[in-house]
A and B are shown apart, each in its own frame.
Chain A
C-alpha cells in the first residue's frame, strides 16, 4: 500500500450532488480538493436520463439530463477540480481516512479534512418485493433498462410490463415504445401514481399504455426467459383480490418500485442513519453524526428534482469548506434544536438545527399521503413559526419550507420543531 495522501475535502461521487459540492467548496477557496467517481465519466445518473425537463428551477430552461450534467462538468473543469473516474471507494473511517481502489493506482488511502458523501441512491430490487414466481431472465429495474437502452445501445426486450408508476417507470414506458417495444401495461399497487402528471400524460396516454391503479404483479412465469406475468387488483389493504387475475404474455418486466439512498460507506464510517429517509441524520450544515463527514443529494434523501439536489449540495460544499477552515477556531455545537416528523410528514431533513443559525434553513420532507387544500406547518410547541398553504400535497412531490434565521432566534437546543400537514 502506498503512503497516506492528504486532501482538505474529498467528495465521493461525481453526479450532480458531488459536482455541485465540489464547485461550491472550490469557489470558497478550497485548493486541496478531490472528487472520486466509480464510473468512467462524471455526471452520475443524469448521463442516462436523456429525456428533458431538468433545470427548470436552476437554469429557467428545460434541459436533458446529459445537458444539465455538462454544465456542472464544464464549471468543474473551469475551476480545475480534479475528478478521478474509475475509482471505487471501499471504506470511509470515522477519522476520515478513505480507502479506494482503481486499475491505475491500485489500493490507496487518503486522509481528508472533510468528506462529502454524494453516492446517490439505488433502485429497490425484485427481492425487496416478495413477488412469487420463477427466477427467469427478463426482469430488470427500470434504471438498468434505461442504462441498456440509452448508454449501451441494447434493447432489453420486446413485450414489456412495468411494475410501479414512479417517474423512471413512466419514462421507460415511453422510451421502450419509441424504440419499438410493445408496453402492455403500467401496474401500480397504490390508488394513485407517484409520477408527475406530465409523465402520465406524455409517457402513457400519448401511447395508449394502460395505467392499472390498485393492481400489482402476483405471479411471474418463465423457464429461461420471462414468459408471462399475472396482474391482480388489490383491496384497500393492498391485498390481491382473488378472481381479478389477468395474465400478460411478455418477455420483460421492469421494476420502478422506489429508490433507496446508497449508504454502505456511510454506515461503515459510523454515520447515524434515519429510518424515515434511509439517509444520514444531518444538521442544517449537512454534517452527519460523524464530525467532518457531510452528506448531500440522493444519498441523504431521495429527491424528485435534480435542481434541489444541486442547491442542497452547494450548501453542503460551503459547509464543508467552512468546517475545514474553522476547525481550530470554532467549537462544535454539542446540542441542536431537534426537527421531528408530525402528522402527514415523512423524513424531514435536516433532523437537527444549530441554535441561532446565521443563514436560512430549508426543511424538506415528503407528504405521507395526498392532501388537498392543506397547510404545512412548522411549530415549536404551541408556537407556529411558519405556515405554507397548497392546493395539493402529494408523496410524489417533496415540500421545501424556508425558515429565516430570525424565526429561529432565541430557540434553545432543548427545543423541538415539529413539521406537520393539517
Chain B
C-alpha cells in the first residue's frame, strides 16, 4: 500500500509517495523527496507521526488562562486524549516558565509545562 506525504521541512513542499508493506506496515520505499530530511520525515510520518501540542488552561481566580505545551512531541493519535486531560485541569498561581503543570500526560511519558510565568 502507498501513502502520500507533503514534506513540511521547507517551502518546496515535496509531494512524496511512501510504499508500505501491507502486512507489517514497514516502509519499503520513499519517492519524490529531494533531500534526506524529506525521506526521514516521510518515514516518521508513516510509522509514528508526532506532534507538539500547545493549549491554554484555566487559572484559579483569574480570567487570564495559562499557556502550556507538551515538553516534547507526542504521538499524533493521542492529541484528543491529551486535550481531554487538559480540559479538566485548573492551575494555581504561582507557576514559573517551564514548570510541570501535569506530569506524564495520558501515560505518554511527556509532561505538560507552562510556557509563560504566572505570578
Which A residues are closer than 8 A to B by beta carbons? 47, 50-52, 62, 64, 66-67, 70, 149-153, 178-179, 196-198, 200-202, 205-206, 391-392, 394, 396-397
Contacts and interface: CB of A to CB of B under 8 A. Distances in A.
Contacts of B53: 178
B11 interface: yes
29 contacts: A50-B67, A50-B69, A50-B115, A64-B69, A66-B67, A66-B97, A67-B97, A67-B116, A70-B116, A149-B56, A150-B56, A150-B65, A151-B64, A151-B65, A153-B64, A178-B53, A178-B79, A197-B6, A197-B10, A197-B11, A197-B13, A198-B8, A201-B8, A202-B51, A206-B51, A206-B76, A391-B12, A392-B11, A392-B12
Interface residues of B, number: 27
Interface string B1-44: 00000111011110000000000000000000010000000000
Given A67-B116, A197-B13, 13 more contacts: A50-B54, A62-B52, A64-B54, A66-B116, A150-B56, A150-B65, A153-B65, A178-B55, A197-B8, A197-B10, A202-B51, A206-B79, A397-B11
Contact of B11 (A50, A178, A394): A394
Interface of B: 6-8, 10-13, 34, 51-56, 58, 63-65, 67, 69, 76, 79, 83, 97, 115-117
Nearest first, the 6 closest Cβ-Cβ pairs linking A and B are: A198-B8, A66-B116, A197-B13, A50-B67, A64-B115, A153-B65
A230 to B, nearest CB: 29
A153 B63 CA distance: 7
Nearest to A151: B64
A102 B105 CA distance: 44
A201 B41 CA distance: 13
Given A67-B97, A149-B56, A392-B11, A178 B64 contact: no
Contacts of B69: 50, 52, 64
Contact of B58 (A52, A67, A153): A153
Contacts of A178: 53, 55, 79, 83
B11 A396 contact: yes
A399 to B, nearest CB: 11
A194 to B, nearest CB: 11
Contacts of B6: 197, 200-201, 205
Contacts of A66: 67, 97, 115-116
Nearest to B69: A64
A50 B56 contact: yes
